[in-house]
Every structure is written in C-alpha cells, then in structure tokens.
Amino acid sequence: EIVLTQTPGTLSLSPGESATLSCWASQSFNRNLLNWYQHRPGQAPRLLIYGASNRAADIPDRFRGSGSGTDFTLTISRLEPEDFAVYYCQQHDSPPYSFGQGTKLEIK
C-alpha cells in the first residue's frame, strides 16, 4: 500500500506570494500516476495536475507540478485569493488509490 505524506499541514501566505507543497510517497511509483487536486469548502474537488507535471484543462500556468519516484511538489506562484484551499496529492498506481492528508493553504 502506498502511503502519501504531505507537508506542511498548513501554509499561511499572503496573496501575491508563492507556495510550495510537498508530497512524499512510502514507495516509488510511476510519476504518470501522481495527481494533485484542489478542494474548496462546499465544492467538488478539482483536478489541477495529472502525471506529476501536466496541468489539467483551464488550470493557469501559475500552478506547476514536479517530481518523481517518491518526492513530488506542487508550486503555486503569485497566489490569488481563490487559491486558498486544501490541496491533495493522490496516486493511481495501485489500489488503494490513496490521497495524502492534505495541505491547507490559508491567508496570512
């Protein structure tokens, strides 16, 4: 079973700043199967990044994913007010198709 650990748990930043979110896997897997989702309260989760580094449709280039093996990163540049939400990494390599515990990005 692949366990995903996200750090930090909470990140307090101001609009205009940049955010770096990390996702660590308990074992190496195919980077094509690492995805990032944004989840705002009361809304459906939204796909941001698939295959570790590919932006989903309509996702601005302020969002960038990178990494491979066991270490993955989501970087958000020039934070906008709508970016403050919870972010999850998720693997679709092998069941259970686990999520990380999430990073809450909050306004400082």
Partner 1 sequence: EVQLVESGGGLVKPGGSLRLSCTAYGFALSSHSVNWVRQAPGRALEWVASISQSGSFIDYADTMKGRFTVSRNNAESAAFLQMNSLRAEDSAVYYCARLLMVRDKENYYYYHMDVWGKGTPVTVSS
Distance CA 77, CA 40 (A): 18
And the tokens for 53?
A: 């580094």
CB of 94 to partner 1, least distance (A): 9
The stretch among 16-24, 31-39, 59-67, 69-77 that binds partner 1 (CB under 8 A) is 31-39
52: tokens are 């570790």
Q: Which is nearer to partner 1, 19 or 65 (CB)?
A: 65
- Contact letters for partner 1, residues 75-104 (x by CB under 8 A): -------------x-x-x--xxxxxxxx--
CA distance 7 to 92: 20
Q: Rule CB under 8 A: is residue 38 a binding residue for partner 1? A: no
Cβ closer to partner 1: 16 or 58?
A: 58
Pairing, β 46-50 against β 4-7: unpaired
Is residue 5 a contact point for partner 1 (CB under 8 A)?
Answer: no
Q: Label residues 26-44 b or e (16+ Cβ within 10 Å = b).
A: eeebebebbbbbbbeeeee
Interaction site with partner 1 (CB under 8 A): 32-33, 35, 37, 39, 43-47, 50-51, 54, 56-57, 88, 90, 92, 95-102
